[in-house]
Structure 1
Amino acid sequence: METVLSTLSPPLDFKGLSQEEQDSLLGQVEIWRYMTCFTDSVALKTVIELRIADIIDRYGKPLSLSQIVENIEDAPSPDASLLQRVLRVMVRRKIFSAEVSETGETLYGLTRASKWILRDTKMTLSPMLLLENHPIHLNPAHHISEIIREGTKNGTAFFRCHGHEQFEMTGLDPEYNKLFNEGMVCTARVVSKAVITGYRDGFNQIKSLVDVGGGIGGSLSEIVRAYPHINAINFDLPHVVATAPKYDGITHVGGDMFVSIPSADAIYMKWILHDWSDEHCVKILKNCRKAIPEKGGKVIIVDHVLRPDGNELFTDVGIAFDMMLLAHNAGGKERTEENWKWLFKETGFARYNIIKINALPSIIEAFPI
């Protein structure tokens, strides 16, 4: 109860209430909070679409409501009173700061959080947030109870919602495809920076590296730029690598990871296995096992290690991602250490090592011997 009370401001007045009545009231508050928490994401999406953080950043100082409104692009008749209500939510959630000037105006400024929703910068999470809030991406969640009742033999929640699986949908809807690709690129930048920084000793020892499911090679190019001694292969489906740009030190190879994987000292997979069922992951990892040398070979997996009872920085985010995968994929999930351990045992990896980095996923090394 103390934990809940500490989040309520101002504290509830329990005078005259029995313990049972207090518990009932607190339970009611908790359900109301979870019922309405989606509005935070809606408000965040709104300020990203209006580029509010970029407007403030451009001036380099906190701005008044009127100054912000004047700088919103493609706004023939902006309503300042409506924006003020959205900003009130964002200030409450510490996405923006608010201070009163000498003239009595409220000035809105950037915080450590709002710097991550700037759209005119490389290190941003804005595209990912816009993707997660797009109706195509979000609406399948309304079908989760159906697949729990009936299983996924008649399709995933995503399929039941749209009549196509997620990766098919990206080829059918240009807007969704654009959002999806931009979301993947922005998270790749954020995660790749943490991987490169947190895995220096690991990359220094590698001479050849294959990025399985590497898309058009963006993540791999960052690794090779930081470690130019590595001879790298970007491996993905033929139609994907066909559009990949040229990078120094990287060869693009088309193929199917369920059939075979090019040989190298090490295999790299970032946010690949969480999209697939255990059965699919076993096939992929067995092919990885065949592609690396018995001695000195390794598989480098960049994926989340779910700790449901933990209280770490990204614990709640990992649980939320698992819910998204429940709606979008057949068998895809965020895995606990026990889940990873089982996969490695099934696929012939004698040992593994988990390295925490400053990002949502961890680095998981798997070794043949």
Structure 2
Amino acid sequence: MEAKEEEEAKAMQRGQADIWKYMFSFVDSMALRCAVELCIADIIHSHGGPITLSQIVSNIPDSTSPDINCLARIMRLLVRRNIFTAQHDQSDGGETLYGLTHSSKWILHDSDLTLAPMFVLETHPWLMSPWHCFSQCVKEGGIAFKKAHGREIWDFGSRNSEFNKLFNDGMECISRILMRTIVSEYKDGFNHVGSLVDVGGGTGATISEIVKSYPHIKGINFDLPHVTVTAPSYPGVSHVGGDMFQGVPSGDALFLKLIMHDWSDEDCVKILKNCKKAIPEKGGKIIVVEVVLEAQGDELLDEIGLAFDLHMIAHSSGGKERTEMEWKRILNEGGFPSYKIIKIPTLLSIIEAYPQ
């Protein structure tokens, strides 16, 4: 009996530790946001190797009266989380030298492959506040973002230029990362496409990467007017403003990356029906790049898929991540009864679907 009671006590202690861990899990995000805002990884990178806290502080932009002790405590946690390295330097007065890891290389602002803008976006108070509305959503339904801000995210962005830029910067950095993988892994998929419409393509970074690798493609970037009006010019790409619920520009194929998960099943079916009208009945296709949820999966990024699903509750207008069976159902209802899933080495998969 004593052994059983002892095991129960240990289990309760582990349970308490878990709750404490989840209670303060936001601390990791906020500490890392601080490092991103202060460009700490960039400062270390610019020196070509590990440096001291004093060297870091002296290079922080617009730093008037820096608190080096505060930074030391933040860095101590980030070292524990393997964001940075720390080593004692015997040759430099015994100071600790801080260096980069494979993780902190992903928050370099000047890198082509950076998650820094996305991290700043996702941890901004505008996007954090809807998470506090989850219990309301459970009790009374509704959209978390609208509960927090009085309007849905797309309407909010159209009225707030600062948020619109923050959002577009975050989406562009994700596009660059994903497109490098997609272009290399989906080679045959673009070979026979003459014109490609990127539905919900933001400011055009995604379609420009495709056209750059496949210059025979006529690229059309399609998004809401307040988004395309700020879009830069790209060779081989034209920008078209509009509403995908009203209609989609015609093309040989349509590209939808991280679009469908923003919407409910009913809305997705509406989008798909408009997509079907925009492509040839024979030879046309849509290329959907999304999470295919594996609720019990044990791959490296499967748990992130579950987190993305809750992210949709927080920020979308009724969207969600979907399993293959859920994708099959909405594709069929939208007029695309035939499809295949192509796994690529990212969180996302490519779903190629055809109208017949």
Q: Normalised by the shorter chain, which TM-score bucket?
A: over 0.9
**1:268 alignment partner in structure 2:** 255
Q: 220-229 vs 182-191, which deviates more?
A: 182-191
**1:225 alignment partner in structure 2:** 212
TM-score normalised per structure 1:
0.91
Segments of 5+ residues of structure 2 without an aligned counterpart are none
**2:37 alignment partner in structure 1:** 49
Pairing partner for 1:327 from 289, 300, 314: 314
**Alpha-carbon contact 2:145-2:314 (below 8 Å) kept:** yes
**1:99 alignment partner in structure 2:** 87
- Structure 1: which amino acid aligns with 2:110? D
1:72 equivalent in alignment to 2:60: yes
Deviation at 1:135, TM superposition (A): 0.7
1:252 equivalent in alignment to 2:239: yes
For the residue of structure 1 that corresponds to 2:128, the secondary structure is: helix
For the residue of structure 2 that corresponds to 1:305, the secondary structure is: coil
**1:22 alignment partner in structure 2:** 10
Pairing partner for 1:128 from 112, 115, 118: 118
1:202 equivalent in alignment to 2:189: yes
- Structure 1: which amino acid aligns with 2:48? G
Q: Distance in 1 between matches of 2:335 and 2:156?
A: 35
Aligned-pair Cα RMSD in Å? 1.8
**2:293 alignment partner in structure 1:** 306
Q: Distance in 2 between matches of 1:16 and 1:149?
A: 39
Identity %, equivalent residues: 54
Residue by residue over 1:210-257, the C-alpha shift from the partner in whole angstroms, topping out at 9 and shown as x without a partner, is: 111112211101100000011222222334333433322223223321
For the residue of structure 2 that corresponds to 1:202, the secondary structure is: helix
1:34 equivalent in alignment to 2:55: no
Pairing partner for 1:184 from 168, 171, 175: 171
Judging changes above 3 Å, is the alpha-carbon distance between structure 1 residues 204 and 149 closer, same or farther for their aligned structure 2 residues?
same
Residue by residue over 1:86-135, the C-alpha shift from the partner in whole angstroms, topping out at 9 and shown as x without a partner, is: 00111111000111112432111000000000112222101111111111
- Structure 1: which amino acid aligns with 2:20? W
**Alpha-carbon contact 2:85-2:101 (below 8 Å) kept:** yes
Pairing partner for 1:278 from 255, 258, 265: 265
Residue by residue over 1:56-95, the C-alpha shift from the partner in whole angstroms, topping out at 9 and shown as x without a partner, is: 0000110112221222121111111111110011111100
**1:291 alignment partner in structure 2:** 278
1:84 equivalent in alignment to 2:91: no
Q: Distance in 2 between matches of 1:164 and 1:254?
A: 21
Deviation at 1:17, TM superposition (A): 6.2
**2:141 alignment partner in structure 1:** 151
For the residue of structure 1 that corresponds to 2:110, the secondary structure is: coil
**1:4 alignment partner in structure 2:** none
Residue by residue over 1:181-221, the C-alpha shift from the partner in whole angstroms, topping out at 9 and shown as x without a partner, is: 21111111111111111111111121221111112211101
Residue by residue over 1:267-298, the C-alpha shift from the partner in whole angstroms, topping out at 9 and shown as x without a partner, is: 10111111111111001111112222222221
Q: Distance in 2 between matches of 1:251 and 1:51?
A: 34
Q: Distance in 1 between matches of 2:308 and 2:276?
A: 28
For the residue of structure 1 that corresponds to 2:238, the secondary structure is: strand
Judging changes above 3 Å, is the alpha-carbon distance between structure 1 residues 239 and 142 closer, same or farther for their aligned structure 2 residues?
closer
